[in-house]
Structure 1
Amino acid sequence: MDEAMDIDSPRGVKRKADDESLVEEAGPRRIQALDQDVVNKIAAGEIIVAPVHALKELIENAVDAGSTSLEVLAKDGGLKLLQITDNGHGIDKDDMSILCERFTTSKLKKFEDLHSINTYGFRGEALASISHIAHLTVTTKTKASNCAWRAKYDGGKLAPAKPGQSADPKPTAGRNGTQITVEDLFYNVPTRRRAFRSPSDEYNKIIDMVGRYSIHCQGVAFSCKKHGDSGTSIAIQAAATTMDRIRQIHGSSVANELIEYAAADDRYGFSAKGWATNANYHIKKTTLLIFINNRAVESSNIKKAIEQTYSTFLPKNGHPFVYLSLEIDPQRVDVNVHPTKREVNFLNEDEIIQAICENIRDKLAAVDTSRTFMTQSLLPGTIGTSSTPQPGPSSSSAKTPTAKGKTPVRPYENNLIRTDSSMRKITSMFPTASKEGAFGMPDDMDTEPEYQLTDREPITCRLTSVRELRTAVRDDMHHGLTEIFASHTFVGIVDERRRLAAMQGGVKLYLVDYGRACLEYFYQVGLTDFGNFGTIKFQPALDLREVLSIAAEHEKATAADGELADDDDFNVEEVVEMVADQLIERREMLQEYFRLEISPAGELISVPLLCKGYTPPMAKLPQFLLRLGPHVDWTDEQGCFEGFLRELARFYVPEQLPSMPGNTEQLEAEDIPEELKVRRAHVRRAVEHVFFPAFKARLVATKSLMNGGVLELADLKGLYRVFERC
């Protein structure tokens, strides 16, 4: 009866280790050899972790084959298509049958050859691994062959292009070299394929890898593009120097601050060379390109040592850009320590790293000590007459640049540029009230807003459309006017109603329409900082439709000749609803690219912040949002970006302020709203201390700005006689 009452233990209860009856039932598990297909897939998963790893192996094979030109094409971040075309030696037809078998290579015959290996690849695993997890097609032609040969591979073996056909390579037209096409990567490993979150992230990794080898491989041309795009993301000519390659990949801000370094020591069998940024450049995260025996690798020890070296030269949390090419005696290097050859071990690592860092430190110190700082007395008439050098680091720069024994040529006084930041501005010459500054503004007014900083890393924009818009701005540059803005001295605001200011460039005086200059400047800021804008948040959030209604009703009320007065032609509610639906529908794109945040319920949460120290006129916000409807081409990527940035720049341009009374009596009699005083002070401060310094630093003056935006008032050289007795 008791035995009949026994029931099974509940599900989910762990089996005890000392349950001998169960152990005896199961018995020891037998050891079995894995199926060869499973072995190959496991090995492939160690070599090819992501599309960028497949690309790295293919680039190295192409360079090993003597290529001088590499073309990379990717689709869906390399997951759908990854193709690399080179002009190297090609592959002999007789070798194509074993091309994708594991451990087939032309670079290694016995294990001892690892001690003298100088090529990128050597184990013969790259193509084999790819063929087990993707559809692989190879088209190749040697110089001696009359035609090219194309073959497909599956699981390391030749495979027919179509069922029922022969698997042998087929003759085809082609040029010298090899084209390898990888399609549907990880198609038979669904778990690995689902792990990739964004094709754009994988494509950015591909761009980074191509950029690394583009900088290192001298004499090799590189191009990389996304499938379907007309332009290329990277285009490097074979004759480009290392400096030019860094400039094209990482920008002029890096290339302009580079110093060259080199180190070598026969005792440790190494030589190193490269380029690194000086103390004038720093970023939030170290950019380190390391090549050991021409192979791109990573080294945490080298990175830590270089960052420690720069810590004494850069501000806190500042990091450098460093490119390092390290050649080490192959007998001292073990490259066979990582499946992807990403890491290597070599002898005397500490001594080699120390030698490299000491050379970089010496170069940085030499650049730092070579700086000279010119000093000048602020008292008139004393320039060039003082015989006592100024104390401090500038005393060394007081030496005359002329050769010894020669009398320096004294320049004519009418060629001198009489500008100094401490001199009076135009505004100081206007009448002032007793308690207020010029134009009725409090002298001590400080309208600088408060900012909150975030740790968000800057996004590198690689969109072809944005790159083309930047190129269009550079092509439209007026070099002479750009130079004037880059070296100008701000004189003062002339007319706020017409938005005019004066500046001096060289010995000439110019009248500038700062409204047009700001329009061009903010458009260029939108292009250069694309995707990295700050935000101006509204607390509480604004009702988008109410804001649009303000602009729509104003447009209808001010329409010329009653063109929009008829309700049938211009219905405020319909216009507001149409524009609101457009913006809400595209809110994710607006948030990602422009930081214009709109909730699904139609609440305006934030607008882009383009410039610190200046708040755009919020009275123009309704018109800005309304114009996004008809003035932006939402169907074309480039047209959308250009239209939005143009409207954003128009929104940021300072508004025209009404003229103020011309004398003190009228000034005191006028009832000037306090809000207008505050806004006027903010705009005037921004023009002098924000806009014109920004023009000096980064404005690319266009030809359209030259036509009507800047007017030459006077040549100070010609007016010298008029003012020489003043």
Structure 2
Amino acid sequence: MADSMDLDPPRGTKRKAEELDNANTARRIRALDPDVVNKIAAGEIIVAPVHALKELVENAVDAGSTSLEVLVKEGGLKLLQITDNGSGIDKEDLPILCERFTTSKLQKFEDLSSIATYGFRGEALASISHIAHLTVTTKTKDSSCAWRAHYDGGKLVPAKPGQTPDPKPVAGRPGTQITVEDLFYNVPTRRRAFRSASDEYNKIIDMVGRYAVHCSHVAFSCKKHGESSTSIAIQTSASVVDRIRQIYGSSVANELIEYSTADDRWGFKASGWATNANYNIKKTAFLLFINHRCVESSNIRRAIEQTYSAFLPKNGHPFVYLSLEIDPQRVDVNVHPTKREVNFLNEDEIIQAICEHIRSKLAAVDTSRTFMTQTLLPGGAWASPSGQQALDAGVTATPSKSSGSSSINPKRTPARPYENNLVRTDTNLRKITSMLPPAAGPSGSTSKGPATHGLGPHTSAMTDQHAEQPEYETTDRTPVACRLVSVRELRAAVREDAHNELTEVIANHTFVGIVDERRRLAAVQGGVKLFLVDYGRACYEYLYQVGLTDFGNFGVIRFSPPLDLRELLSIAAEAESGTLVAGEEETGKGKGKAKEITMPDAAPVFDATELVERVADQLIERREMLLEYFSFEISPAGELLSIPLLVKGYTPAIVKLPHFLLRLGPHVVWDEEKACFDTFLKELASFYVPEQLPPTRGGGGGDENEEDLDEEVKARRKHVRWAVEHVFFPAFKARLVATNSLMKGGVLEIANLKGLYRVFERC
């Protein structure tokens, strides 16, 4: 009877090989091995090195520390050391220090309703000792020496084989130093999950920064092992605003407003600092402490973001530090293993009261905004001694109506910077090209015309705009939001490859001049450094990024009358027999870089007609997609009506158009969406990149007189020169994300003012 009532195991149940023979035998319930239990508990509490750090920092603050030092190696996986100057640990307590549920902060369960310390369960050190090698060095105020103990699996262990596990007397200062080595050494699955040590270190820096802001009476320092400089260094006397300034930057600290509110009905007090409507970032920076415990709350974050949405631009987010004190009897602190979350009563009412108070503060500040203004225009003369102070300060702030006083103390005279730190930012001052020797004309005379950037003194400078600026028409077409996953992935790839330092240099650079037209080199100044930039490569990066950001919303260059697509393809195909050669060197009019690409199964002569038909059929077949995404219009009969407009103010070389169209056939991956968009935009960017032109004497190392060039080439070079200085480099400042590939082969530092000063000081 019992056999007939046996049920089959549920589908998906894993069975070991040795259990298959006894499938009908009931499996008995057994108690887990204590070591397994402890490792499971440790894995719940210590999920990553930052969680171990959080527990140790909270223990140090609970011990009354006023100074806390953090040392990290390999993101905390190899070494995590916390040193404090707190009360220390008695020697008699060391044997049970790392046993589970041993604590000095809790005696009975009812104490949880009035807990006022960070830690209370006694699990942190126990959990760490089961998954790492733990060493504790401690000294109390009354002890004559420090004591060092080593732990493994919650028990005291000897420092070396053959020694006793008892704590050893050592020299040390008052306080406690806890050293965690080889975290997760016995949990290989968890250890392998951490791919980047730098990511884990950034999480540790973020956590230390949060406690450094909140614990205003404690000094914090954090650094990597083996490095002399610290990532965070906060003094004990630093105010909350100073702590925010050092950790999150002056741009945040300069726009902070203080707020404080309370309500006895709900038993809470809230205080903190938040940015006003003058500041916004892409992602909310939210520091939340409930009863001095760093926690997370999606409900509070969402309510505050909704409050700020009425004051900030679209997609703008604030910085908010909130310290919330609630009656301990209304809070349940024991709802999460890592104490990352807490539950409290009347959550909706408390959140509403806080948001209404912050809203009133923002509305009051919004009536009097502060704007940074420039004291004098570039090149202006200083009229008074106060103007000299403004030169040293750089900018001054308009006084705020709410404060009634200027944000800059007029009695304080800033120290003058050293000359080797001065930065020239006025583009109207003397250019580097004005120092080049003048070029001799046909009769041997020297021209005395004004100098331009990289062209030599014999060429007239263009001022406001190019004389042959094309005409543009504006349409009322509504921009289309791009929701294609492939385009978003391509944009994300650019952001991930960004070189932050180079992007900042380009965003704040001063254009110096074109140095070499043949090699497409320009000089720019970033701070006190001079860089040589391959503007051809920089233009390619910029135009490719424009193609991604403006995807589906390009402007249009229309041809009137339309061009015959097959005729254009035939021009390019006939010029390339056997090998595809970009004939820049031969024609002198430029079609891009000279390079040879051997055709598959190339013969000395290939069938140009067949190639033209295949490429034309491909483009005509996909004309609807090209028109929708790229404003690239082709008629069913094979007429080219328009091409995309990427940059306003610059016209690409139409002589490169046949070659560009021909490359769209074999060089664009038409079968896959993401690869298609990527390769097409790269070909489009290559088409738009300013071509190499033959320079004249004194203008980049060329050996031709400008009079020897035909009018078409002279006009084209004039347009390219103007576009590089007045279109492309200003656009780089506004929206170019400099990538690592551009840093490796497109930018070279050629001078450093501080280095030059050191060189000439020896002379």
TM-score, scaled to structure 1: 0.57
Secondary structure of the structure 2 residue equivalent to 1:673: helix
Partner of 1:156: 154
Match of residue 442, structure 1, among 468, 476, 494? 468
- The answer to whether the 8 A contact 2:70-2:81 is kept is yes
Secondary structure of the structure 1 residue equivalent to 2:262: strand
Alignment of 1:447-462 (within 5 A): 454-455=491-492
Alignment of 1:112-131 (within 5 A): 112-131=110-129
What code does the residue aligned with 2:199 have?
D
Match of residue 677, structure 1, among 706, 718, 734? 718
Residue 106 of structure 1, CA deviation:
0.8
Alignment of 1:565-584 (within 5 A): none
Alignment of 1:475-514 (within 5 A): none
Secondary structure of the structure 1 residue equivalent to 2:272: strand
Secondary structure of the structure 2 residue equivalent to 1:129: helix
Secondary structure of the structure 2 residue equivalent to 1:356: helix
Partner of 1:547: none
> For residues 27 and 687 of structure 1, what CA distance do their matches in structure 2 show?
78
Partner of 1:38: 36
Matched, 1:321 2:319: yes
> For residues 141 and 14 of structure 2, what CA distance do their matches in structure 1 show?
70
- Give the 3 Å change call, closer, same or farther, for CA 100–351 of structure 1 in structure 2: same
> For residues 172 and 333 of structure 1, what CA distance do their matches in structure 2 show?
42
> For residues 56 and 671 of structure 1, what CA distance do their matches in structure 2 show?
69
Matched, 1:71 2:97: no
- The answer to whether the 8 A contact 2:55-2:119 is kept is yes
> For residues 460 and 266 of structure 1, what CA distance do their matches in structure 2 show?
52
- Give the 3 Å change call, closer, same or farther, for CA 28–462 of structure 1 in structure 2: farther
- Give the 3 Å change call, closer, same or farther, for CA 692–148 of structure 1 in structure 2: closer
Residue 444 of structure 1, CA deviation:
4.6
> For residues 462 and 288 of structure 1, what CA distance do their matches in structure 2 show?
26
> For residues 253 and 514 of structure 2, what CA distance do their matches in structure 1 show?
42
Partner of 2:80: 82
Residue 146 of structure 1, CA deviation:
0.8
What code does the residue aligned with 1:93 have?
K
Match of residue 255, structure 2, among 254, 257, 260? 257
- In structure 1, runs of 5+ residues without a counterpart are 1-12, 375-396, 403-425, 428-435, 474-484, 500-513, 526-532, 540-549, 551-611, 619-651, 661-665, 695-701, 709-726
Alignment of 1:157-172 (within 5 A): 157-172=155-170
> For residues 227 and 366 of structure 1, what CA distance do their matches in structure 2 show?
47
Partner of 1:293: 291
> For residues 294 and 497 of structure 2, what CA distance do their matches in structure 1 show?
22
Residue 104 of structure 1, CA deviation:
0.8
What code does the residue aligned with 1:225 have?
K
- The answer to whether the 8 A contact 1:243-1:255 is kept is yes
What code does the residue aligned with 1:293 have?
N
> For residues 613 and 206 of structure 1, what CA distance do their matches in structure 2 show?
46
What code does the residue aligned with 1:335 have?
V
> For residues 16 and 165 of structure 1, what CA distance do their matches in structure 2 show?
46
Match of residue 206, structure 2, among 205, 208, 233? 208
> For residues 135 and 193 of structure 2, what CA distance do their matches in structure 1 show?
25
Residue 442 of structure 1, CA deviation:
2.1
TM-score, scaled to structure 2: 0.54
Secondary structure of the structure 1 residue equivalent to 2:271: strand
- The answer to whether the 8 A contact 2:525-2:531 is kept is no
- The answer to whether the 8 A contact 2:106-2:121 is kept is yes
Residue 24 of structure 1, CA deviation:
9.0
Residue 230 of structure 1, CA deviation:
2.2
> For residues 267 and 524 of structure 1, what CA distance do their matches in structure 2 show?
66
> For residues 16 and 50 of structure 1, what CA distance do their matches in structure 2 show?
29
> For residues 26 and 89 of structure 1, what CA distance do their matches in structure 2 show?
60
> For residues 128 and 456 of structure 1, what CA distance do their matches in structure 2 show?
42
Residue 371 of structure 1, CA deviation:
3.5
> For residues 270 and 98 of structure 2, what CA distance do their matches in structure 1 show?
35
Secondary structure of the structure 2 residue equivalent to 1:201: helix
In percent, how many aligned pairs have the same letter? 66
> For residues 74 and 189 of structure 2, what CA distance do their matches in structure 1 show?
17
Residue 89 of structure 1, CA deviation:
0.7
Residue 26 of structure 1, CA deviation:
3.2
1:431-469 residue CA offsets vs partner (Å, 9 max, x unmatched): xxxxx98786324579xxxx9983579789999xx89xx
> For residues 649 and 136 of structure 2, what CA distance do their matches in structure 1 show?
58
Residue 329 of structure 1, CA deviation:
1.0
> For residues 25 and 692 of structure 1, what CA distance do their matches in structure 2 show?
71
1:157-206 residue CA offsets vs partner (Å, 9 max, x unmatched): 11111122111100001111100001111111111111212222111111
> For residues 175 and 22 of structure 2, what CA distance do their matches in structure 1 show?
63
> For residues 261 and 236 of structure 1, what CA distance do their matches in structure 2 show?
23
- The answer to whether the 8 A contact 1:279-1:313 is kept is yes
Secondary structure of the structure 1 residue equivalent to 2:349: helix
- Give the 3 Å change call, closer, same or farther, for CA 239–184 of structure 1 in structure 2: same
Partner of 1:199: 197
- The answer to whether the 8 A contact 1:291-1:324 is kept is yes
- Give the 3 Å change call, closer, same or farther, for CA 280–195 of structure 1 in structure 2: same
Alignment of 1:19-418 (within 5 A): 26-371=24-369
> For residues 233 and 516 of structure 1, what CA distance do their matches in structure 2 show?
31
- Give the 3 Å change call, closer, same or farther, for CA 272–672 of structure 1 in structure 2: same
Residue 121 of structure 1, CA deviation:
0.3
- The answer to whether the 8 A contact 2:116-2:291 is kept is yes
- The answer to whether the 8 A contact 2:286-2:301 is kept is yes
> For residues 308 and 273 of structure 1, what CA distance do their matches in structure 2 show?
19
- The answer to whether the 8 A contact 1:613-1:690 is kept is no
> For residues 165 and 74 of structure 2, what CA distance do their matches in structure 1 show?
29
- The answer to whether the 8 A contact 2:466-2:719 is kept is no
1:549-605 residue CA offsets vs partner (Å, 9 max, x unmatched): x9xxxxxxxxxxxxxxxxxxxxxxxxxxxxxxxxxxxxxxxxxxxxxxxxxxxxxxx
Secondary structure of the structure 2 residue equivalent to 1:262: strand
What code does the residue aligned with 1:441 have?
A
> For residues 80 and 205 of structure 2, what CA distance do their matches in structure 1 show?
12
Residue 212 of structure 1, CA deviation:
0.9
Secondary structure of the structure 1 residue equivalent to 2:200: helix
What code does the residue aligned with 1:215 have?
V
Secondary structure of the structure 2 residue equivalent to 1:103: coil
- Give the 3 Å change call, closer, same or farther, for CA 260–228 of structure 1 in structure 2: same
- In structure 2, runs of 5+ residues without a counterpart are 1-10, 373-399, 406-449, 452-461, 473-481, 517-521, 534-540, 548-583, 585-646, 654-689, 699-706, 736-750, 758-763
- Give the 3 Å change call, closer, same or farther, for CA 311–155 of structure 1 in structure 2: same
- Give the 3 Å change call, closer, same or farther, for CA 279–172 of structure 1 in structure 2: same
Residue 369 of structure 1, CA deviation:
1.8
- Give the 3 Å change call, closer, same or farther, for CA 536–45 of structure 1 in structure 2: same
- Give the 3 Å change call, closer, same or farther, for CA 371–250 of structure 1 in structure 2: closer
Secondary structure of the structure 2 residue equivalent to 1:26: coil
- The answer to whether the 8 A contact 1:310-1:319 is kept is yes
> For residues 108 and 356 of structure 1, what CA distance do their matches in structure 2 show?
32
> For residues 68 and 186 of structure 1, what CA distance do their matches in structure 2 show?
30
- The answer to whether the 8 A contact 2:530-2:752 is kept is no
What code does the residue aligned with 1:194 have?
R
Residue 535 of structure 1, CA deviation:
8.4
1:472-499 residue CA offsets vs partner (Å, 9 max, x unmatched): x9xxxxxxxxxxx99xxx9xx9x97899
> For residues 100 and 231 of structure 1, what CA distance do their matches in structure 2 show?
33
- Give the 3 Å change call, closer, same or farther, for CA 76–315 of structure 1 in structure 2: same
> For residues 16 and 455 of structure 1, what CA distance do their matches in structure 2 show?
40
Partner of 1:724: none
